[in-house]
Amino acid sequence: MRSDAMKKGIEKAPHRSLFKALGYVDRELELPLIGVVNSHNEIVPGHMHLNDIAEAVKAGVRLAGGTPIEFPAIAVCDGIAMNHTGMKYSLASRELIADSIEVMAQAHPFDGLVLIPSCDKIVPGMLMAAARLNIPAIVVSGGPMLAGRHNGQQLSLSNLFEAVGKVYAGSMTEEELHEVEESACPGCGSCAGMFTANSMNCLTEALGMALPGNGTIPAVSAARRRLAKMAGMQIMKLVQEDICPSDIMTREAFNNGLAVDMALGCSTNTVLHLPAIATEAGVEINLDLVNMTSERTPNLCKLSPAGPFFMQDLDEAGGIPAVMAELSQKGLINLEARTVTGTVGDNLSGKIVFRRDVIRSVEDPYSSSGGIAVLRGNLAPDGAVVKKSAVAPEMLKHSGPARVFESEEEAVQAITEKKINKGDVIVIRYEGPKGGPGMREMLTPTATVAGLGMDKDVALLTDGRFSGATRGASIGHISPEAAEGGTIAIIREGDIIEIDIPNNSLNVVLSQAEISARLKEWQSPEPRIKKGYLARYARHVTSASTGAIIRD
């Protein structure tokens, strides 16, 4: 056992003494030691109940003959961090999570790990650590939040962000906004739509690193606690058979994950996280592969914000196994890929779709191609990303004048002061991984535009990123970013931007000679943050086109 390095032999008597100071007895130390990584805290709704999940996991480990040992991981609430400096730290926290788990699991060599995330960056951070450490590991998330209800309608956090825009538009009063505020988020769990957290928890299941149901079983359900117990038991089988993440997170697994991503219409942030996880697993995912997968994968689901359904609806419809079983009918899923329980084929045996309103047939999809598109052109030579399944048909092709802003705050001020006109293309730059720094997620400007009723008239572009809760012609991850001298840095007010999502293109109507001349005049701005973790992060982070990973 790996844990023998810290507990077995005469020379480890001091080590065993320290374990006994923790209350462990000899029999517990003779068993496999399982690290239980719990990202519970009291600031993230998706994480506030994770102590319950951790207790269920530990019960499962003990039932299967192991000794669970819990340690923590940090978690940022993207909703609470939104539209202020705090959001600069969200994506950057992904690397800290991976690094801290590596530190704990190397300093204390566990025989296996159960990883308990829930929200946005915690899921990929934990998967990156699992791939890097390559010891038996399994993920069990805290599960999605139930949708809220207001005036007989289901809603979630994204509706509340859009409601702010309605107040600015005069179509909602502040009193009505307060009523929605009271109803949108009814309890624990990751916010109820196909936003980044739920996207990543569903894709963890598709990658084979979690039990079926991980992405969709509601947080409040007893089934979620049972799932956690089963994950605790299953890690013991993985330890006994020495099945490691490298056996599971293969090229075939990532291909399956991308296919599910496109079928579900997941958050554009998955295009940051899947490549980052794959890099740790020794598998390359680039934007060309994302587009190739999108071109051949039908979009089967329209979950909030793209449509009227929520995660509880997807769970009722059969969850990720039902989506994968549907995709397998077109040969889009590798059934031989390994999972924490066997093969994908084993998991999909007998799985059917229970609600065709939620999961469409591959013969009757929303579109023949997937929910995410990668755009290229002179404005984004290295790529940009859009959740095309959430774009109004009339905005799939759009040409309009640039309205240029040097930060999210400047753009939001102009939007709320109604200085944006129909047809405009809002350009928000210096919000990329280096320039932000931290590549802020920007739900406020996109939701405010939607709340003002302009989501079918106005496009938004950024070298930062947009939330999984964003809808409309919101194109992010423009690479190279402004801080690295990308074309977006030299766009001027009034320049005409041409967007053609069906043909995967994004251009500014300028000659290459004009672009080159402007770039010669361009000067890199002073860093916005000059000390601390974000300053170090900005020096080492790579482009969004490569997953915004850290390189030495």
User: Do 90 and 120 contact (CB within 8 A), yes or no?
Assistant: yes
Dist CA 443 CA 471 (whole Å):
9
Residue 300 is encoded by which pair of tokens?
A: 């089967």
Residue 122 is encoded by which pair of tokens?
A: 């915690």
Where is 232: in which H helix or E strand? helix 222-241
Strands 148-150 and 153-155: antiparallel
> What Cα–Cα distance (Å) separates residue 113 from each residue in 44, 66, 309, 388?
23, 11, 34, 37
CA angle 85, 488, 166 (to 5 degrees): 55
| Rg for the chain, CA atoms, rounded | 23
Which letter does DSSP use for residue 395 in this model? Answer: G
Give me the sign of the Cα torsion angle 221, 223, 226, 232.
negative
**Active site (annotated) includes residue 467:** yes
Q: How many CA atoms lie within 13 A of 544 on its CB side?
A: 40
Dist CA 324 CA 199 (whole Å):
14
User: Do 550 and 537 contact (CB within 8 A), yes or no?
Assistant: yes
User: Do 453 and 543 contact (CB within 8 A), yes or no?
Assistant: no
From 531, 549, 532, select the one nearest 540 (Cα to Cα).
549
Dist CA 162 CA 467 (whole Å):
13
Dist CA 319 CA 334 (whole Å):
18
Q: Catalytic pick from 156, 190, 328, 467? A: 467
DSSP 89-101: GHHHHHHHHHHHH
Which residues are the active-site residues?
Answer: 467
